[in-house]
C-alpha cells in the first residue's frame, strides 16, 4: 500500500460498518440523481479494495466509475498550453500552464468538478490566526494558558486533565465574531455556478458554512464547533449549547452524566470525521484541484493533494511553495505565490467574476449584519 494510504487508513480503523452506511446518501450525491449507486455492503468492499491499490491513489479502482459519469462535452478551442491537458495540442511536448490557462478551462466548462482544499491561510484575512506563523501564529501565543508545550491544547490527555486552556482559547476565538472574506465567497461562487464538487477544509472556524456553502459540499476534515459530544456518555448536542458556559468561563457539562462536553474538533490522535472518507470518490472524479492557504503538513489531509489523476491540473494559491508542489511537482501544476486574497481576486478577474463576487459579498455581508442585529436585540 502507498505510504499515504497507510497513514490515512490508520485514521479510519475505529470505524464500524454503520459509519460506511452513513455515507451512502453522499455516494448517491456524488454519482448524481437517477444513477444506480452501490449498496452499502458493496461500498465497503470497493473502498477496501481501493486502499490496496499501489498505483495513483484511488485512480485505478474507480476508473469505471469515472468513465460512467464523464459524459460528452462540446468541442472547445483552447490555448496551446491548456490544450495539452487533453492531448489536443499540436506540440507533443508538455507545456507549462499558467493561471490564465486555468481560468480558460473553467470558462470553457472543461473543468466542472472542482475539488478544493483549504487551510488556515484563507481565514487569517478574517482575523483568525493560523497555527505556525512565527510571532503571529496561534502556537506562538499560547503562553498565557500555562501549557507544557503549545500542541498540548489539542491533546486529549491534557484536555481530560485540564480543559480550561482549550475553552479559554475557544472563548477568545468565539468573541472575535469573525466573518467570511473574499476567499470564502469565491468558493461560494464556485458552488453557485455548479462547479464545486467538494470543499475539504482543515479549518475549525466554520466560516465556510457562514459564507453559504451547504454542508453537503463540505468536508470539515478537522471537525468544527458546529456540534459537540460528551466525553463520557457520548451524548451529541448542537455546538451552540456550550457557548453560554464557555463565555462565562465555565466548563460545559453533560446534563445526563455531568461529563465534559467537548466540541467536535479533531484532537491529535482522534479519528477523522466519517465524511472525510468521501475523498475516495471525490478525488478520482475531480477535473481540477484548487489548493488555498495551507502548509500541506498535517496528514492524512496533506496527501490528498496527490490523490487526483495525473492528467488533472492542480492550482496552488499560497504564500509559500509547499508539499508535492515543492518536492514532486507535476507538469500540469500551476502555482500562484504571494498573498492568497490577491491570488484569488486575480483568478476571479481572469474568469470575469469580479462584479459577481463583489455583489455576493455585499449581499451576504448585509444578511450577516441584520442577523447579528436581530440576535443583539433579542438577547
pLDDT in tens, 10-23: 444 343 444 444 45
Q: Is pLDDT larger for residue 96 or for residue 309?
A: 309
Q: Is residue 370 part of a domain?
A: yes
Q: Is residue 217 part of a domain?
A: yes
Residue 304 pLDDT: 96
Task: Give the CATH number of the domain where residue 301 resides.
Answer: 3.40.50.1220
Domain count, the chain: 2
Residue 59 pLDDT: 30
Under a CB-based contact definition with an 8 Å cutoff, are residues 20 and 41 in contact? Answer: no
Average pLDDT over the chain, rounded to an integer: 77
Judgement on whether residues 170 and 112 belong to the same structural domain of the protein: no
The pLDDT of 254-275, averaged and rounded, is 92
Q: Poorest-confidence range of 78-92, 267-281, 317-331?
A: 78-92
Residue 170 pLDDT: 86
Residue 178 pLDDT: 85
pLDDT in tens, 118-158: 999 999 999 887 665 555 555 555 666 778 887 888 899 99
Residue 268 pLDDT: 86
Judgement on whether residues 249 and 340 belong to the same structural domain of the protein: no
Catalytic residue among 184, 191, 222, 279: 222
236-238 and 223-230 strand pairing? antiparallel
| CA 221-225-230 angle, 5° bins | 100
The pLDDT of 189-214, averaged and rounded, is 96
Q: Is residue 291 part of a domain?
A: yes
Q: Is residue 136 part of a domain?
A: yes
Judgement on whether residues 231 and 318 belong to the same structural domain of the protein: no
Q: Which of 108, 128, 103 is nearest to 290 (CA)?
A: 103
DSSP class per residue in 223-285: EEEEEEEETTT--EEEGGGGHHHHHTT---B-TTT-PBEEEEEPPBTSPPPGGGGGHHHHHHH
Cβ-Cβ contacts under 8 Å for 34 (sequence gap 6 or more)? none
Tell me whether the omega of the peptide bond preceding residue 98 falls within 30 degrees of 0, making it cis.
no
Is 222 an annotated catalytic residue?
Answer: yes
Highest mean pLDDT among 29-33, 77-81, 84-88, 219-223: 219-223
Judgement on whether residues 306 and 346 belong to the same structural domain of the protein: yes
Q: Is residue 20 part of a domain?
A: no
Judgement on whether residues 258 and 342 belong to the same structural domain of the protein: no
Q: Three-state DSSP class for 337?
A: strand
Judgement on whether residues 228 and 301 belong to the same structural domain of the protein: no
Q: Is residue 1 part of a domain?
A: no
Q: Is residue 252 part of a domain?
A: yes
Judgement on whether residues 189 and 306 belong to the same structural domain of the protein: yes
Q: Is residue 353 part of a domain?
A: yes
Judgement on whether residues 349 and 206 belong to the same structural domain of the protein: yes
Q: Is pLDDT larger for residue 321 or for residue 40?
A: 321
Task: Give the CATH number of the domain where residue 135 resides.
Answer: 3.30.1600.10
C-alpha 123/C-alpha 146 separation (Å) is 26
Mark which of 214, 238, 265 sits at the end of a domain. 265
For the annotated binding site for Zn(2+), the residues are 230, 233, 254, 257
Residue 350 pLDDT: 98
Residue 188 has which C-alpha cell?
Answer: 461560494
Under a CB-based contact definition with an 8 Å cutoff, are residues 227 and 239 in contact? Answer: yes
Under a CB-based contact definition with an 8 Å cutoff, are residues 148 and 233 in contact? Answer: no
Judgement on whether residues 210 and 353 belong to the same structural domain of the protein: yes
Judgement on whether residues 357 and 311 belong to the same structural domain of the protein: yes
Judgement on whether residues 111 and 213 belong to the same structural domain of the protein: yes
pLDDT in tens, 333-373: 999 999 999 999 999 999 999 999 999 999 998 887 655 54
Q: Which of 318, 348, 312, 345 is nearest to 330 (CA)?
A: 312
Binning pLDDT at 50, 70 and 90, where does residue 305 land? very high
Judgement on whether residues 197 and 299 belong to the same structural domain of the protein: yes
pLDDT in tens, 44-98: 333 333 333 333 333 322 222 232 223 333 333 445 445 555 554 444 345 788 9
Residue 179 pLDDT: 92
C-alpha 264/C-alpha 90 separation (Å) is 52
Q: pLDDT at residue 332 above 60? A: yes
Q: Is pLDDT larger for residue 179 or for residue 42?
A: 179
Residue 285 has which C-alpha cell?
Answer: 472524479
Paired strand residues for 114: 196, 288
Residue 108 is part of which domain span? 96-126+181-222+275-326+334-378
DSSP H helical segments within 34-109, as ranges?
A: 40-51, 63-70, 80-83, 99-107
Amino acid at each position: 500500500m502507498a505510504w499515504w494510504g497507510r497513514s490515512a487508513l490508520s485514521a479510519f480503523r475505529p470505524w464500524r460498518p454503520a459509519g460506511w452506511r452513513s455515507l451512502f446518501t453522499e455516494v448517491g450525491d456524488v454519482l448524481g440523481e437517477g444513477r444506480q449507486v452501490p449498496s452499502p455492503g458493496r461500498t465497503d468492499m470497493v473502498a477496501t479494495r481501493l486502499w490496496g491499490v499501489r498505483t495513483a491513489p484511488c485512480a485505478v479502482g474507480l476508473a469505471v466509475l469515472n468513465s460512467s459519469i464523464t459524459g460528452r462535452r462540446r468541442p472547445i478551442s483552447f490555448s496551446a498550453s491548456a490544450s495539452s491537458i487533453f492531448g489536443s495540442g499540436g506540440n507533443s511536448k508538455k507545456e507549462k500552464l499558467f493561471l490564465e490557462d486555468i481560468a480558460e478551462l473553467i470558462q470553457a466548462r472543461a473543468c466542472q468538478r472542482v475539488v478544493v482544499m483549504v487551510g488556515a491561510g484563507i481565514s487569517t484575512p478574517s482575523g483568525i490566526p493560523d497555527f505556525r506563523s512565527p510571532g503571529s501564529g496561534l502556537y506562538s501565543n499560547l503562553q498565557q494558558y500555562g501549557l507544557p508545550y503549545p500542541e498540548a491544547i489539542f491533546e486529549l490527555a491534557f484536555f481530560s486533565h485540564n480543559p480550561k486552556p482549550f475553552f479559554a482559547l475557544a472563548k477568545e476565538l468565539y468573541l472575535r465574531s469573525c466573518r467570511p472574506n473574499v476567499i470564502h465567497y469565491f468558493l461560494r461562487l464556485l458552488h453557485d455556478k455548479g462547479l464545486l464538487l467538494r470543499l475539504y477544509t482543515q479549518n475549525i472556524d466554520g466560516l465556510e458554512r457562514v459564507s453559504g456553502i451547504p454542508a453537503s459540499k463540505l468536508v470539515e476534515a478537522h471537525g468544527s464547533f458546529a456540534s459537540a459530544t460528551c466525553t463520557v456518555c457520548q451524548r451529541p448536542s448542537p455546538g451552540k449549547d456550550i457557548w453560554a458556559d464557555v463565555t462565562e468561563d465555565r466548563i460545559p457539562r453533560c446534563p445526563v452524566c455531568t461529563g465534559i462536553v467537548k466540541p467536535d474538533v479533531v484532537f491529535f490522535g482522534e479519528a477523522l470525521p466519517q465524511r472525510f472518507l468521501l475523498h475516495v470518490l471525490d478525488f478520482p472524479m475531480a477535473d481540477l484541484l484548487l489548493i488555498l492557504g495551507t502548509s500541506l503538513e498535517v496528514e492524512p489531509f496533506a496527501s490528498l493533494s496527490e490523490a487526483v489523476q495525473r492528467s488533472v491540473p492542480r492550482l496552488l494559491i499560497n504564500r509559500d511553495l509547499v508539499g508535492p508542489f515543492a518536492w514532486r511537482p507535476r507538469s500540469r501544476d500551476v502555482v500562484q505565490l504571494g498573498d492568497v486574497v490577491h491570488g484569488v481576486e486575480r483568478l476571479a478577474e481572469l474568469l470575469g467574476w469580479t462584479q459577481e463576487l463583489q455583489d455576493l459579498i455585499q449581499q451576504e455581508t448585509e444578511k450577516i449584519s441584520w442577523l447579528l442585529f436581530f440576535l443583539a436585540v433579542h438577547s
